[in-house]
Amino acid sequence: MMKPQRIQGEFQIQLEEAAHIIWKAIKPEIENSPSTRSKMKIKLEDDTIILKIESKDSTAFRAAMNSTLRWIKLAYDIIKLEKGDNLWNSQKTSNTN
Amino acid sequence: MMKPQRIQGEFQIQLEEAAHIIWKAIKPEIENSPSTRSKMKIKLEDDTIILKIESKDSTAFRAAMNSTLRWIKLAYDIIKLEKGDNLWNSQKTSNTN
């Protein structure tokens, strides 16, 4: 019988001057995650957040990864809005609509 | 103005004897991916598939990651079904329902 498989991943997310604020904001969420099916670690190196996720199965891995990237994008967009910039990957909306 | 940020990630997915078949099945999909916002590479090392994804933004990264993991899980489940095993992370369904 095939054993359930393990997945692990490491991500580097380059965030320039927003990196430190975002790291501080989401670190508690990452380290107190209630999930028993995934383990997450987060580090800050200069302008880059390094995220490590290890999960017992692909569904748990995707859930942990998607929620964490959503937090990072949300935090990033808040900082950009506060600076009056465009959102991270918003399409160039034409002024006519 | 904050520059749109780059994300890159590397995943190791341990798949035991299913690894080679799954790698062969999804390699063409990964290498001919039409996306211009993400670059993907896939390698096989013993029983582990190693996936590298690099994207211009978090939405593109999550799309590439989710679709690839879905392919891998689908391929894995097909192999398991063919061997008469339980699916990867199916809950223990009671026989009464």
Q: With CB atoms and an 8 Å threshold, state whether A88 touches B5.
A: yes
**Residue A35 pLDDT:** 80
The matching CATH number, chosen from 3.30.310.50, 1.10.3720.10, 3.40.50.300, 3.60.21.10, for A7-82 is 3.30.310.50
More confident residue, A41 or A82: A41
Q: With CB atoms and an 8 Å threshold, state whether B12 touches A8.
A: yes
Q: With CB atoms and an 8 Å threshold, state whether A10 touches B10.
A: yes
pLDDT digits (tens, 9 = 90+) for A25-71: 999 988 887 788 899 999 999 999 999 999 988 889 999 999 999 99
Predicted interface score ipTM higher than 0.85:
no
pLDDT of residue B48 exceeding 90, the answer is yes
**Residue B62 pLDDT:** 92
Q: With CB atoms and an 8 Å threshold, state whether A69 touches B79.
A: no
Q: What is the DSSP string of chain A?
A: -PPPPPEEEEEEEE-GGGHHHHHHHHHHHHHT---SSEEEEEEEETTEEEEEEEESSHHHHHHHHHHHHHHHHHHHHHHHHHTTPPPTT-----TT-
**Residue B88 pLDDT:** 53
**Residue A4 pLDDT:** 55
Average pLDDT, chain B: 83
Q: Nearest-CA distance from A44 to chain B in Å?
A: 14
Cβ-contact B33, B26 below 8 angstroms: no
Instruction: List residues in chain A touching B: CB distance below 8 A.
Output: 1-18, 56-62, 65-66, 69, 72-73, 76, 79-80, 83, 85-86, 88-89
Q: Nearest-CA distance from B96 to chain A in Å?
A: 24
pLDDT digits (tens, 9 = 90+) for A3-13: 557 899 999 99
Q: Is A73 exposed, middle or buried (CB count within 10 Å of its CB: 0-12, 13-18, 19+)?
A: buried
Q: With CB atoms and an 8 Å threshold, state whether B62 touches A66.
A: yes
- State the average pLDDT over residues B37-43: 93
pLDDT of residue A78 exceeding 50, the answer is yes
Return the domain boundaries, chain B.
7-82
**Residue A2 pLDDT:** 52
